[in-house]
Amino acid sequence: MEFTGLLKKALLATLLGVAAIASSASAQTTITLYHYQTGKNYDSFRKLLNEFEQRNPDIRIKDMFSQSEQITAELQAAMAAGRQVDIATVIGKNIIHFLNNTPAVPLNAEPAKAKFLENYLPVFLDLGRVGEKIYAVPHAYGTPMIYYNKDIFRKAGLDPNRPPRTWDEVTQMALVIQKKTGVMGMGHLHAAMRDYGTMLMVTNAGGKYLSADGRCALFDSPAGVAGVALWQDLVVKYKVMPVAADRQMQSAFNSGKLSMYITSSASLGGTVADTAGHFELGVANYPLFKDGMKRKTPNSGAALMLYSPPGERRNAALRVLAYLGDRKIANRWSRESGYMPLSKNPLSDPDMAKYVSSYPLVQPVIAQMADTVPTATWGEQGALEAQSIVSNLMDALWANHGPASKLVPEAVARMNAATGCTAR
């Protein structure tokens, strides 16, 4: 009898335990987060999400991957089909399009749940700001930098500890390298539709790429034309840059076949790993357009937007965003990914200060934060067609079909017809 009683108690305890687990599982809120992180960056990002889940067992985060070139279309398809989207990684230049065409939720609709927004530098919130409402928080913001092969610099008789400061120096050093080593001089990132690369060249030259509402292309100004003309000259006049896709140039640089490559700081971790043991890597700030001019670098990358309906999913999603916006977590993500630190005074975090002090390759990223300006965002109408025109413009310039002074104004006129620009 005593044994039977104990057996009944054990069975009852087991049943109660199973019930408790089932109850806990049923109380768990699952949110869906779309992103484009791959490789080492995905491992770091998922580790952060796993740690959040451990701290918050009532929330599960289902991450959904899509390539950066495809995530805009994938998100729109998911929403149109009624699939769950709670937090979405949105390419910076498309934020206005998403505001106008998707049911985005203001992050500060409930101020008590939006305290985490105070952690960010205000300039990094401007992309998603409409009046008093903030619809996007920075997440994967890169800044363009020069990656260079110090071993090739030495072979060419250049000082490996003196990287180029200006575009004139980039050009001259690239010419010297090609003459003395036979290695191609430099490359410059394009990004999707060559849109970001063109924007970067134009903005750093002192021009304006788009109007504030994203409806009018403005880079047919003298400064804008000068920025685009420089990109053409690197290929046509000086012949120091190949016409190749970003991945091809990155691969060429990593294998020692390209002496300098200008790309995002987001590539830092991967480039360090891929070049280790092959050559000594150097990193420097994006070139000044001319000596004495201020550097202006639009950020690349993406922000996070909120789509959860009112209730538990929205509360859970806001808790995830607050966690990712915490200074220590954001700084850790920056250290592990190569993206810019996004919080105010990142070096006030002892871990971040120690990291920057001990890892010189990341110091240009920190220094260039002050030079960052918000990336230009496209309006609702004709954005894809306009970006296609940018891509075709650069193809025509690199094929030497005409000077920038002629081809740029023609392209801008076609872009503005596509986007419905009526007043500049």
pTM, to two decimals: 0.81
- Are 187 and 334 part of one and the same domain? no
Q: How confident is the model at residue 383 (pLDDT cuts 50, 70, 90)?
A: confident
Query: For residue 313, which of 23, 89, 24, 29 has the smallest C-alpha distance?
Result: 29
User: In this structure, is residue 1 part of a structural domain?
Assistant: no
In terms of average pLDDT, the best of 258-272, 327-341, 379-393, 398-412 is 398-412
Per residue in 267-313, pLDDT (tens digit) is: 888 899 999 999 999 999 999 999 999 999 998 889 999 999 999 99
Instruction: Domain count for the chain, please give it.
Output: 2
In order of 84, 113, 310, the CA distances from 106 in angstroms are 18, 11, 12
What mean pLDDT, rounded, does the chain reach? 91
pLDDT of 352 over the 80 cut: yes
266 and 167 within one domain: yes
Tell me if 290 is assigned to some domain: yes
158 and 279 both lie in a single domain: yes
Task: Give per-residue pLDDT as tens, 234-246.
Answer: 999 999 999 999 9
Whether 46 and 125 share a structural domain? yes
The pLDDT tens digits of the residues spanning 136-189 come to 999 998 899 999 999 999 999 999 999 999 999 999 999 999 999 999 999 999
95 within some domain = yes
**Does 226 lie in the same domain as 266?**
yes
Boundary (domain end) residue, out of 373, 391, 408? 373
- Residue range 121-138: mean pLDDT, rounded: 88
Residues 410 and 284 grouped into a single domain: yes
Is residue 413 domain-shared with residue 326, that is, in the same domain? no
Q: Determine the structural domain holding residue 252 and report its residue range.
A: 144-298+378-419
- Same-domain check for residues 43 and 157: no
pLDDT at res. 19: 46
On whether residue 2 sits in a domain, the answer given is no
Chain segment 183-221, per-residue pLDDT in tens: 999 999 998 889 999 999 999 999 999 998 889 999 999
Q: Which residues contact 106 (CB under 8 A, 6 or more apart)?
A: 133, 134, 135, 306
Mean pLDDT of 378-386: 88
Specify the pLDDT at position 283: 97
Per-residue pLDDT band at 12 (split at 50, 70, 90): low
Per-residue pLDDT band for 126 (boundaries 50, 70, 90) equals confident
18 and 94 assigned to the same domain: yes
108 within domain boundaries: yes
**What confidence tens digit (pLDDT) does each residue in 248-267 have?**
999 999 999 999 999 999 88
Q: Are residues 254 and 154 in the same domain?
A: yes
Taking residues 327-342, report their average pLDDT: 89
Same domain flag for 289 and 391: yes
Q: Let me know if residue 314 belongs to a domain.
A: yes
- Verify that 107 and 21 share a domain, yes or no: yes
Residue 61, φ and ψ in degrees, nearest 5: -110, 115
Q: What is the pLDDT of residues 68-113, one digit of tens each?
A: 878 888 999 999 999 999 999 998 888 888 888 899 999 999 999 9
Q: What is the CATH number of the domain that holds 131?
A: 3.40.190.10
Determine the pLDDT at residue 14. Answer: 52
In a domain, 424, yes or no: no
